[in-house]
């Protein structure tokens, strides 16, 4: 299975940006059968890779993340990234997860600490932070990605410290980053400048999630600390009693975000699809329509066939 690092290198040589999708089950209850149906529709859009959240098979079946990732690659020839969290993990549990990923041929892993909850254990043991997991996975030969936070991590009030933590993940072996969602691209551009100044040299993909309803956006804002810009607040007010129009406006807003990021040279574009292929289709179409080639380089990815996947 091709690694994400190889995908980014090939895309850079071709003068284009990788476009990727994430299967993001809100309640963690994506079965293999349901994942296959979603993946079949995503495959038609020719993404550069698909990431699978942890756990994709329900909170009691975390092994399913690797199962879904392997299925997508084996059945559709799409490179995949399996998420892995380490909050409360032991050396034994991480070793088991690594063995399972290797058996299933997973080449790329997104290493995450995991969200704290009322039931989650305190950060202790050998894997207190994501950088600890990054180092272990890199030592095992995986292409390792990690999360980036354009507005800073919700538990860290010092933006400079958040960027410093990102550099620590790179130094530990991370070869790509995917950002937490954001709704105002100016925060990403500020963050990108700070990351460059801190010596972050690996690709940073921009993670974008459409807002589909008031309850969803409130939940995401409180979970990750993303700021709500005025245009979104006005859309929420305008379509408060019209869920269908609000959903359409949210997808349109995400498409505008992505095309702006594309035109400003973002390293990669990552869509949180929430298992809804029409979201991926709309975003891929918007990117395809706005894409401008670098010189004479041909583009492929997210719906633009050009002689095979890079």
Question: With the CA atoms of 125, 131, 134 and 139 taken in that order, what torsion angle do they form, in degrees rounded to the nearest 10?
Answer: -80
Which residues, listed in sequence order, are joined to residue 111 by a DSSP beta bridge? 84, 146
Structure tokens at 164: 């410093």
**Residue 183 near residue 211, CB atoms below 8 Å:** yes
CA 192, CA 207: separation in Å to the nearest integer? 13
Distances (CA, A) of 294 to 17, 48, 139: 10, 18, 36
Dist. CA 152–CA 154, nearest whole Å? 6
Active site residues: 22
The alpha-carbon radius of gyration of the chain (Å, integer) is 18
User: Cα–Cα distance between 55 and 238 in angstroms, integer?
Assistant: 36
Q: Which residue has the tokens 């933590």?
A: 165
Helix locations, 44-125, DSSP H: 64-76, 91-103
């Amino acid at each position: 299975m091709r690694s994400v690092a190889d995908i980014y290198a090939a895309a850079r040589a071709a003068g284009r940006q990788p476009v990727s999708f994430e299967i993001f089950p809100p309640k963690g209850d994506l079965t293999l059968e349901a994942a296959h149906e979603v993946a079949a529709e995503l495959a038609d859009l020719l993404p550069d890779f698909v990431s699978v959240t942890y756990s994709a098979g329900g909170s009691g079946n975390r092994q399913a993340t690797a199962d879904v990732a392997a299925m997508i690659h084996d059945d559709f020839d799409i490179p995949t990234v399996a998420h892995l969290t380490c909050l409360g993990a032991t050396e034994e549990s991480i070793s088991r997860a690594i063995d399972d990923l290797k058996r299933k041929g997973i080449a790329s892993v997104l290493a995450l600490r995991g969200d704290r909850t009322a039931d989650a254990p305190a950060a202790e043991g050998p894997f207190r932070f994501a950088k600890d997991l990054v180092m272990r996975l890199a030592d095992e030969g995986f292409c390792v990605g990690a999360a980036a936070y354009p507005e800073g991590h919700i538990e860290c009030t010092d933006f400079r410290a958040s960027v410093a933590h990102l550099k620590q993940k790179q130094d530990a072996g991370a070869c790509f980053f995917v950002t937490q969602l954001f709704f105002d691209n100016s925060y990403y551009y500020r963050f990108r400048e700070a990351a460059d100044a801190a010596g972050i040299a690996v690709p940073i993909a921009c993670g974008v999630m459409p807002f589909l309803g008031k309850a969803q956006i409130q939940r995401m804002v409180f979970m990750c600390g993303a700021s709500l810009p005025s245009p979104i607040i006005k859309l929420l007010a305008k379509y408060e009693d019209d869920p269908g129009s609000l959903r359409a406006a949210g997808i349109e807003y995400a498409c505008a975000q992505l095309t702006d990021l594309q035109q400003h040279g973002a390293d990669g574009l990552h869509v949180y699809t929430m298992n809804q292929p029409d979201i991926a289709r709309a975003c891929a179409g918007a990117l395809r329509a706005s894409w401008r080639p670098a010189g004479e380089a041909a583009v492929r990815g997210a719906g633009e066939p050009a002689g095979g996947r890079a």
